[in-house]
């Protein structure tokens, strides 16, 4: 069984990756540098960017609080909740798998963009799924939690 701290460290790692993605997208929106992919590669357009950025900032703040609580081993998110952990892990599996399906559909419908065209959102949704998996595993370390 991993130390509680390792789950917190993993969550910080995934948070940093997501933060870099949000920052990269913001840089593209503001300055259009040639060394970064164009905006159409960064998001699907389901949510207008003026709404997406505040949502992403809220996600970063929530992820920061969750990671902070776990690494210092106190606070609201550090209170062990095995049932919550199991639910979050199951959700993370579904979330990750849905991104695999999304990737397959994208590659089938956009053969001109194989292998990596338009995959930035998919990859970073997988990062969020991994964050949730780490959080769920932290909470599920006790009471015969899902062991795969």
Residue 63, C-beta contacts closer than 8 angstroms, at least 6 positions apart: 11, 14, 15, 18, 131
Q: Please indicate, yes or no, if residue 100 is contained in any of the structural domains.
A: yes
Number of structural domains found in the chain: 1
Query: Domain for residue 28, yes or no?
Result: yes
The answer to whether position 87 is within a domain reads: yes
For 36-94, the pLDDT digits (tens) are: 999 989 988 889 999 999 999 999 999 999 999 999 999 999 999 999 999 999 999 99
Is 26 part of a structural domain of the chain?
yes
In a domain, 146, yes or no: no
116 found inside a domain: yes
- Which domain does 63 fall in, by range? 4-139
List the structure tokens of 35.
């060394």
pTM beyond 0.85, yes or no = yes
Domain presence at residue 145: no
Q: Where are the alpha helices (DSSP H) in 41-119?
A: 49-72, 82-109
């Amino acid at each position: 069984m991993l130390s509680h701290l390792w789950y917190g460290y993993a969550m910080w790692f995934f948070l940093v990756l997501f933060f870099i993605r949000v920052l990269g997208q913001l840089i593209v929106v503001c300055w259009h540098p040639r060394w970064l992919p164009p905006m159409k590669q960064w998001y699907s357009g389901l949510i207008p960017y003026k709404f997406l950025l505040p949502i992403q900032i809220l996600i970063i703040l929530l992820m920061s609080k969750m990671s902070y609580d776990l690494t210092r081993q106190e606070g609201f998110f550090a209170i062990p909740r095995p049932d919550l952990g199991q639910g979050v892990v199951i959700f993370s599996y579904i979330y990750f798998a849905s991104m695999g399906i999304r990737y397959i559909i994208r590659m089938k419908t956009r053969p001109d963009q194989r292998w990596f065209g338009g995959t930035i959102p998919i990859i970073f949704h997988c990062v969020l799924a991994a964050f949730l998996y780490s959080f769920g595993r932290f909470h599920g370390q006790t009471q015969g939690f899902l062991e795969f």
